[in-house]
Amino acid sequence: MLGAALDIFSKQGFEYLSRWGHVVVGITWIGLLYYFNFVQVPAFGEMEAAARNNAVDKLASRALWWFRWAAAATFVTGLMILGFQENLNKMSYFKTGSGIAIATGMLFGITMFLNVWGVIWRAQKVVIDNARNVQAGGEANPAAAELGRKALLASRQNTIFSLPLLIFMVGTSHFPYNGLDLTGGKRGLYWAITLIVFAFFELNALGIIGGFKPGGTNLMYDTHKNTIYTGLAYSVLMLIVFAVVFAV
Ligand code: HEM
């Protein structure tokens, strides 16, 4: 009986524990992402400047600490699951239905992680420093508002990505599809569609396509409701692309 309990100290046990840890830190990250987008941004928009600066200093700075480290932990535990799996011993895993699903989920997840550390946190550091400086009676930094907008777009895009990401993270082991046709041509078609749509979204969020102004291709970031609808539509699209391209 004890022998069975000790099975947790095996490769499979460590994979299981990494999976548990991954979901814990994943919900911490994405929960805070949704808090920022659905609660904090609309609330800050209605607050007086002095109250907002105080909230950025005392509240947003703390939320951002949990947010960015949860993102890092999600990334690391995700790689740990992959590392403990037998699947990774053969690169042909990425030609199977599960392998294609997790590669797609990881494309979203790793991009979101890079958006957190490379765009959102870099910009928010300046926004927090500015709020603290103004509270202490210093001059406002004119660059802070633009950087705040840059961070907002990346954050809204991460909210959009989070929905199709879960389609694939969960789908890897639990998609209800059997007997897919995964020939090279179909895989090529799937990746071409997936990467083109993904690149459009990410380049748009970085301001490379649509710039940082509201409207146009940024309509989907203008309100959190637009962001949610876009994320849901994108999830349905990706589910259809996967199921239809690989249909036998
Ligand atoms: C940051 C990059 C990420 C990487 C590299 C990654 C990697 C992985 C891997 C390898 C799996 C195992 C798939 C399988 O074989 O069943 C997985 C599952 C999963 N991931 Fe991620 N992931 C990332 C981000 C996220 C995020 C942001 C979430 C959001 C909560 C998330 C939630 C999940 C869930 C719920 C599962 C399924 C667990 C299960 O069904 O047993 N992942 N991820």
Per-residue confidence band for 90, with pLDDT thresholds at 50, 70 and 90: confident
Ligand 1, atom 4: closest residue by C-alpha: 78
Name the closest-CA residue to atom 7, ligand 1: 78
Number of domains in the chain: 1
Q: Quote the DSSP letter at residue 206.
A: T
Question: What pTM, to 2 d.p., does this model score?
Answer: 0.96
Expressed in angstroms and rounded, the spacing between residue 126 Cα and the centre of ligand 1 is 31
pLDDT value, residue 1: 67
The stretch 172-180 carries a mean pLDDT of 94
Nearest to 232 by CA among 242, 244, 220, 222: 220
The pLDDT of residue 48 is 97
User: What mean pLDDT is reported for the chain?
Assistant: 96
User: Rounded distance, CA 86 to CA 39, Å?
Assistant: 41
Q: Nearest C-alpha to atom 19 of ligand 1 is from which residue?
A: 169
pLDDT tens digits, 199-225:
999 999 999 999 999 999 999 999 999
Choose among 47, 49, 236, 54: nearest CA to 136: 54
Q: Is 59 in the pocket of ligand 1 (CB under 6 A)?
A: no
Residue 122: CB partners within 8 Å, gap ≥ 6?
none
CA of 163 to the centre of ligand 1 (A): 12
